[in-house]
A and B are shown apart, each in its own frame.
Chain A
Amino acid sequence: MVDVLTGTFTVKTGHAQMLKGGVIMDVVNREQAEIAAESGAVAVMALERVPADIRADGGVARMTDPGIIQEIMNAVSIPVMAKCRIGHFVEAQVLEAIGVDYIDESEVLTPADEVHHVWKHEFNVPFVCGCRNLGEALRRISEGATMIRTKGEAGTGDVVEAVTHMRAVQDAIRKLQTMPDDELVVEARDLQVSLDLLMQTKEQGRLPVVNFAAGGVATPADAALMMQLGADGVFVGSGIFKSGNPVERGHAIVQAVTHYNDPKIIAEVSKGLGEAMVGISARSIPEKDLLAPRSL
């Protein structure tokens, strides 16, 4: 009898590898999911409210109604992701039970645990988690995340935090590559990460799992910027369905991610897209209302 293995690190990270060079779009219903698939999204994130609305509404943001998620799963053939609150392992169990393809343990929802994240190793379904720097990324991987996204500041349409976090991760990896091995133990201590993972990151010269950019991407040029900074792909949350022309904008962002090194194509797809989402400057948000610092 040949062993059949499911829920392995390889199939979890491998699924994220298949999403590379693609755009994952937030959708709140069946119609939006179909538009996202039609515009070339590699996956959708099924939500009750996009981050811009979560931010505007305030209150406690929780996992989406499983019925809504299932409706979206039935509507499209591309992978469907869904968010659980940080540390809320029962929401994660529920999402696994309905068969979502990836769980985002997300700071966009109100954290359920201010100390611990979900122990993701024991799930068959893979997890993506946010990070602002290399330490956060490697801690999430230690807990079993098999895909990382830089956090940015969701629901703003302001790309500045996405850039800050991507640069922080990339800079830390570049620093690691020139660091002598005898300094790695201290570096691991400072970053609060395992030495093994740190050595692996140094050796590979990149995060050991796929790393997407997220949080504030609103235009094709924003998306290409994140790709040129080293992202493997892009999450677009509120940026598409809070804009004037979601179909065209979604389609344009998909093309900008594929051709991120070709400014002529980015120029072409950026024409006539209408209003981008209104946006709020991430710097104008009071510290207590920022989403990114919610989990460390």
Chain B
Amino acid sequence: MEVGVLAVQGDFAEHIATLKGLGVEAREVKLPQHLDSVEGLIIPGGESTTLSRLMTLYDLREPVRSMAAKGMALWGTCAGMIMLAMEITEEDPVPLGLMDIGVHRNAYGRQVDSFEQDLSVPCFGSEPFHGVFIRAPMVNRLGEGVEVLASLPDGEPVAVQQDNLMATSFHPELTNDPRFHRHFLDLVPVVAN
């Protein structure tokens, strides 16, 4: 199994390190041909406007959209969540429009408001997951068929899944806890056939 991590900008190296720690082959995806052999793709944290421009410029949008439509596992963290969304509250960046959610960028405030908080993730059991939120986006619309994997105590969803698509507004790649990466890898075999 080979998993790609979009590597046009952002903390892709942290995702690759976590995947390698799980014994998974991971590769950087900067150009469309790098997608040829991958069975799953992570869009990392970074600056979403930059990711969006570079994805357009290097013709990555359509291949990612069509592969996701065919069932490729796709996970976006923070800026990646913004890219996966159906719509966002601003005109920029232009999301891929894959997951039936609406997203509000930087909704928790500027960097001084960035925070860490333990999250309850029912599908992982009782052990909380440490959420690291950096200028994080907020899910402001949940479509039918979108499952909430984790929420803040006030009920705001911060980890969501729709079939082969997953999005988190926080950064599991900045922790040493690989449970979200494992969960993502579980979505990959669906693609293999």
Contact = CB atoms under 8 A, between A and B. Distances in A.
Q: Do A and B come from one complex?
A: yes
A125 interface: yes
For chain B, the bracket of interface size reads 35 or more
Interface in B34-90: 45-47, 49-50, 53-54, 57, 78-79, 90
A53 B110 CA distance: 30
Contacts of A60: none
A18 interface: yes
Interface in B105-164: 105-106, 110-118, 132-135, 153
Given A99-B110, A254-B54, A258-B30, 17 more contacts: A2-B153, A4-B115, A6-B116, A8-B116, A11-B111, A17-B174, A20-B13, A37-B49, A77-B49, A77-B92, A78-B50, A79-B111, A96-B112, A125-B111, A254-B53, A258-B9, A259-B30
A284 B79 CA distance: 44
Interface stretch (A38-46, A185-193, A213-221, A241-249): A38-46
B16 interface: no
B100 interface: no
B171 interface: yes
Contacts of B30: 258-259, 262
Contacts of B116: 4-6, 8, 10-11
A22 B117 contact: no
Interface in A116-140: 124-126
Contact of A125 (B11, B45, B50, B112): B112
A37 B52 CA distance: 12
Contacts of B9: 20-22, 42, 257-258
A51 B87 CA distance: 40
Contact of A18 (B8, B11, B57, B117): B11
A150 B118 CA distance: 35
A19 interface: yes
Interface string A15-54: 1011111100000000000000100111100000000000
Interface residues of A, number: 39
Contacts of A125: 111-112
Given A11-B132, A77-B106, A42 B115 contact: no
A3 B117 CA distance: 6
A79 B7 CA distance: 20
B97 interface: no
Contacts of A96: 112
Nearest to A11: B114
Contacts of A104: none
Contacts of A258: 7-9, 30, 54
A18 B106 contact: no
A42 B50 contact: yes
Contacts of A18: 10-11, 45-47, 78-79, 134-135
Nearest to B105: A77
A5 B117 contact: yes
Given A14-B134, A255-B54, A78 B114 contact: no
Nearest to B7: A21
A100 B112 CA distance: 8
A259 B190 CA distance: 32
A47 to B, nearest CB: 18
B135 A7 contact: no
Contacts of B46: 18-22, 42
Nearest to A102: B111
A153 interface: no
B112 to A, nearest CB: 5
A161 interface: no
A7 B132 contact: no
22 contacts: A3-B118, A10-B116, A11-B132, A14-B132, A15-B135, A17-B11, A17-B45, A18-B10, A18-B11, A18-B45, A20-B9, A21-B7, A21-B46, A22-B46, A22-B47, A40-B54, A42-B50, A77-B92, A79-B111, A99-B112, A258-B7, A258-B9
Contacts of A101: 110-112, 135
Given A10-B132, A14-B134, A40 B111 contact: no
Contacts of B49: 37, 40, 77-78
A21 B16 CA distance: 15
Nearest to B57: A255
